[in-house]
Amino acid sequence: MFNDYIAVTRPDHWIKNIFMLAGSCIVLLLYPDYLETLSLVTLISAFISTCIVASSNYVLNEILDANQDRSHPKKRDRPLAKGKISKHEAYILYIALSIIGLILSYNINKYFFLAALALWAMGIIYNAPPIRSKEVPIVDVLSEAINNPIRLYLGWFAITDAVSPPRLR
């Protein structure tokens, strides 16, 4: 049963969060002096925080899509769709992951927290009514695409909150 709780958090999707390291690399390329103060512990904590926030979004997706997933050829084997985890248990997991991920992000710095909060909010926009952008053609792709710049900001703010990212022109 423990494996079902792990599966619903989709750790196999955490690889997407490596994109945040690009934001960290950009800081170090533009401001090499930050290499001297780089904390691997902070960077690892930032990555873990990002993964936990992302996992809360995956749990929310599983909760809200469980009924439809039951009739999907591949998704019907997901823990909620199979009834291995109740919606009540999944909501508790969602709330716990949300709180833990956001508290960890707050401990990094306020800008990292705001970027993590944006990633968390995108999960709600994508999955939850009344917006549920995943059901609107083209908007679904755009709302998912917004997560990558958020991950860049997360990587940036994992290194510094003293320097703003460059503005797009």
Overall number of domains in the chain = 1
Determine the structural domain holding residue 80 and report its residue range. Answer: 39-159
- CA–CA separation, 83 and 55 (whole Å): 19
pLDDT tens by residue, 154-163 = 999 999 998 8
Q: Is 10 inside any structural domain? A: no
Residue 121: the pLDDT is 97
- CA–CA separation, 98 and 100 (whole Å): 6
Specify the pTM.
0.93
Q: Is 14 inside any structural domain? A: no
State the CATH number of the domain containing residue 123: 1.10.357.140
pLDDT tens by residue, 69-78 = 888 888 888 8
